[in-house]
Amino acid sequence: MSQRELRRAVVLGLVRAGKWTLVKGAGEMGLTVRQARRLLRRYEVEGPSGLAHRRRGTPAANRIPESVRDRVLSLAEHTYVGFNDTHLHEALTEREGLAISRVTLRRLLRSHGRPPKRKRRPRQHRRRREPSARRGQMVQWDGSLHPWVGVGGPKWALLAAVDDADGKVVWALFAPAESSIAYFRLLDGILSRAGIPLSLYHDQHGALRRSDGHWSLEEQLRGEQNPTQVGAALRDLAIRSILARSAQGKGRIERFFEVAQDRLVAELALRKIATLDEANEYLHNEWIKDFNRRFGGVAAERQSLYRRPGRLDLEKILSFRYERTVAADNTVKLGDLVLQIPPGPRNRSYAQARVDVRQHLDGAWSVYYLDRRIAHLPVTELREPVLARLKTRKSRPAKGAHETVLVYFQETL
């Protein structure tokens, strides 16, 4: 019996004993005299237990049928493993045609010993930063290394770019690692699908920001280090690079990764996707659209600030660049790779010329002299350049003198 029913039993006991009138007892219980008289008759026949609600212990009229309950629990335990409560509710409604509310589903799962997927921690106080007013004003991009195809599987990097104005994914891709190659491919996707944003907001990853303490003489005289390979491309595209000082500062892209590590992992497991190509195909064809539909917002102002690339040579801009001096035999060397430059007009030689060597994202090579391409060479494996410290080549180098150069291979030249 509930406390209210026990209290009624005490009042009706006083009325039955003649110590209180029925009117006083009805007022004490907050009931009409007619209702109090009905309860008193039940109390006289059945005792205090007769005051219990008649439907207590019987199933509710709108109770979910046992067959539906069993099917929901079976789907949650076998088919939709790893789905959170909201994600599971969406899957049951849209894919299985089961009409069950999210609150009922959560109550059903908890009653059968299935805990929530994530524990909620108390939120820390943060000062709000208003979203950008227009699309293209700021894009947040980052990478997340995670076992996307399940615990025990390979760890891939998911790189994504989210527009700060509406929270929608501009582009995303899976890559073996969070590297310069992956960021170049992500930037290529942004440019081809949306355009050139005004700024990119990111963390201090080595592919985006130099973190070494090595300065060449030219850099010392200029007062700043040369940018990374990706940073040089951003400079050529006139994209402002904004450095985040904390993870909370780039909250929109961090929230995207929280959703992806929750929902995307479950969806990949549901489809039994195990390869990088299959994961990217599903990501590009289905998941990004579904994410933007469910979680994307609307920018405060309709006008977009994305710029079209126009006549920009994106193949040249989105490439790995190396400055080299042409040898006497008209070759340039990068590690153990030797590139032969063909003769110029009127059999011209480029020996001792300072040239700009580029490897494009398809692996092909180009050599530029005075901003004009003088050689286009075959495809080789696309590799990450690294910074190496080489002793300055002098007849008597000063103690500890070094220079920093970009090396194609990690082996010492």
CA distance 129 to 12: 62
Which of 112-121, 124-133, 357-366 shows the highest mean pLDDT? 357-366
Per-residue confidence (pLDDT) for residue 386, from 0 to 100: 67
Residue 46 has a pLDDT of: 86
Q: What is the pLDDT of residue 124?
A: 62
What's the rounded Cα separation, in Å, for the pair 410 and 389? 11
User: Which residue from 51, 54, 32, 55 is spatially nearest to 41, judged by alpha carbons?
Assistant: 51
Of the two residues 281 and 39, the one the predictor is more confident about is 281
| pLDDT for residue 219 | 81
% the chain with pLDDT above 70: 89
C-alpha 67/C-alpha 184 separation (Å) is 52
**Position of tokens 């907001």?**
201
* Mode of pairing for the β-strands spanning 365-369 and 354-360: antiparallel
- Asked if residue 270 lies in contact with residue 76, where contact means CB atoms within 8 angstroms, the answer is no
- Per-residue pLDDT tens for 99-114? 888 899 998 998 888 8
Higher pLDDT, 401 or 49: 49
Residue 400 confidence class, pLDDT cut points 50, 70, 90 = very low
Burial 96-126 (b: 16+ CB within 10 A, else e): eebebeeeebbebbeeeeeeeeeeeeeeeee
Cβ(142)–Cβ(204) below 8 Å: no
Q: What pTM was estimated for this model as a whole?
A: 0.71
Query: What does the block give as tokens for 299?
Result: 């920018």
Summarised one tens digit per residue, pLDDT across range 384-398 is 886 544 444 444 444
Q: Tell me the pLDDT tens digit for each residue of 278-304.
A: 999 999 999 999 999 999 999 999 999
Tens digits of residue pLDDT in 185-235: 999 999 999 999 999 999 988 889 887 778 888 888 888 888 999 999 999
What length does the chain have?
Answer: 413
**Minimal CA–CA distance to 51: which of 61, 40, 59, 62?**
40
Taking the C-alpha atoms of residue 184 and residue 317, their distance in angstroms, rounded to an integer, is 10
Predicted local confidence at residue 389, as pLDDT: 44
pLDDT at 126: 61
> Mind listing the pLDDT tens digit for each residue in 40-96?
888 888 888 878 777 776 777 677 888 888 999 999 999 998 899 999 999 999 999
Q: pLDDT tens digits, residue range 248-258? A: 668 889 999 99
The C-alpha atoms of residue 14 and residue 21 are separated, in whole angstroms, by 9
| pLDDT confidence of residue 399 | 44
User: The tokens of 312 are what?
Assistant: 């920009």
